[in-house]
């Protein structure tokens, strides 16, 4: 067993492309990524971004085998902030060990932070470092939180934009015949509405206190769980947009589902 379930990998940006408004997909490559464990799902990894001069501070990350974070992370934290590499958490959206590649989908949020700003301008050839699961350790499950109940046939997945890659990976693994309800928070879904992938479910209100919009692929055949959620959202919108009014007994008068 190596000192830690994760290893550090020195990687190069092999490709960087915009995949949707506000999203940039980076393909990171290195021969050593053949050892990156292909578990997928919601696997969290760290991006260790280059310093302004392109380098990596000396905090022992690339010692072989990769030391435990109690060693390298403590040394990283002890460095002055301006002299240490930015670390941020991401999820591989694809893992291709046989090609020594992983993809990472980066949300270009506004205002940007160091990682999203770096990703927005990243071009092929740039070097960075990542930490992630190493298949030489065998299965450990380290960095995965998705633990579905064995035999389940219904799932509820909820997340904001940064969870899109994890949720997409999870959905691809669910067995045939089950049903997943997926609730995603997104700042901008105009593209999906224009393309007909989503329709508006809640009324066209402009709530003052708690803007809430909800989109779904179709109004046809919603599950009972989703109808209940829409009901809840309607009642909540009533509460926040019409101060002084109590909870209506049931949601009336809005768009109906099904
Ligand atoms: C387990 C896990 C997996 C993740 N996977 C992904 C992934 O695959 N893709 C991905 O894009 N992100 C992912 N994230 C989220 C990512 O780590 C954060 O968004 C991170 O803060 C981005 O770093 P930054 O340097 O761009 O911004 P920061 O320096 O961390 O933040 C700068 C400013 O931006 C704001 N900010 C940060 N993130 C967001 C956001 N998402 N929306 C709006 N404002 C924001 C902060 O509040 C702050 O004000 C994941 C996070 C976790 C915990």
**pLDDT tens for the chain, residues 1 to 258:** 788 999 999 999 999 999 988 999 999 999 999 999 999 999 999 999 999 999 999 999 999 999 999 999 999 999 999 999 999 999 999 999 999 999 999 999 989 999 999 999 999 999 999 999 999 999 999 999 999 888 899 999 999 999 999 999 999 999 988 899 999 888 777 788 888 888 877 765 444 445 667 778 887 888 888 888 888 887 776 655 444 332 233 333 233 232
Closest CA to 40 of 144, 136, 131: 144
The alpha carbon torsion through 56, 1, 144, 66 (nearest 10 deg) reads 0
Cα(81) to centroid(ligand 1), Å = 19
Which pTM was predicted?
0.82
Q: Which of 16, 44, 88 to mutate to test the pocket of ligand 1 (most atoms within 8 A of CB)?
A: 88
Q: Is 31 helix (H, G, I), strand (E, B) or coil?
A: helix
Q: Residue-wise over 110-122: b if at least 16 C-beta within 10 A, else e?
A: eeeeebbebbeeb
Place of tokens 């589902």: 257
Q: Residue-wise over 196-222: b if at least 16 C-beta within 10 A, else e?
A: eebeebbeeeebeeeeeebebeeeeeb
**Residue 161 CA, closest ligand 1 atom number:** 41
pLDDT in tens, 156-198: 999 999 999 999 999 999 998 889 999 988 877 778 888 888 8
Distance CA 84, CA 107 (A): 23
Cα(32) to centroid(ligand 1), Å = 27
Residues with Cβ < 8 Å from 177, sequence gap 6 or more? 153
């Amino acid at each position: 067993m190596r000192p830690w379930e994760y290893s550090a990998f020195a990687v190069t940006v092999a490709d960087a492309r915009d995949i949707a408004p506000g999203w940039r997909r980076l393909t990171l490559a290195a021969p050593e990524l053949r050892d990156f464990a292909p578990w997928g799902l919601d696997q969290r990894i760290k991006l260790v971004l280059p310093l302004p001069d392109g380098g990596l501070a000396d905090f022992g990350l690339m010692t072989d085998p990769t030391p435990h974070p109690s060693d390298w992370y403590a040394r990283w934290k002890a460095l002055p902030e301006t002299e240490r590499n930015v670390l941020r958490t991401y999820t591989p959206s694809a893992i291709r060990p046989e090609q020594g590649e992983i993809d990472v989908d980066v949300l270009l949020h506004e205002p940007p932070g160091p990682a999203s700003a770096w990703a927005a301008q990243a071009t092929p050839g740039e070097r960075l470092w990542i930490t992630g699961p190493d298949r030489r350790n065998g299965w450990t499950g380290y960095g995965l939180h998705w633990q579905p109940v064995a035999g389940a046939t219904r799932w509820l997945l909820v997340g904001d934009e940064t969870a899109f890659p994890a949720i997409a990976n999870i959905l691809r693994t669910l067995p045939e015949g089950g049903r997943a309800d997926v609730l995603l928070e997104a700042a901008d879904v105009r593209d999906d509405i224009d393309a007909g992938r989503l329709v508006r479910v809640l009324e066209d209100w402009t709530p003052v206190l708690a803007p809430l919009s909800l989109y779904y692929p179709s109004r046809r055949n919603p599950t009972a769980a989703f109808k209940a959620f829409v009901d809840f959202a309607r009642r909540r919108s009533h509460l926040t947009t019409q101060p002084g009014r109590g909870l209506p007994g049931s949601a009336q008068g809005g768009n109906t589902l099904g």
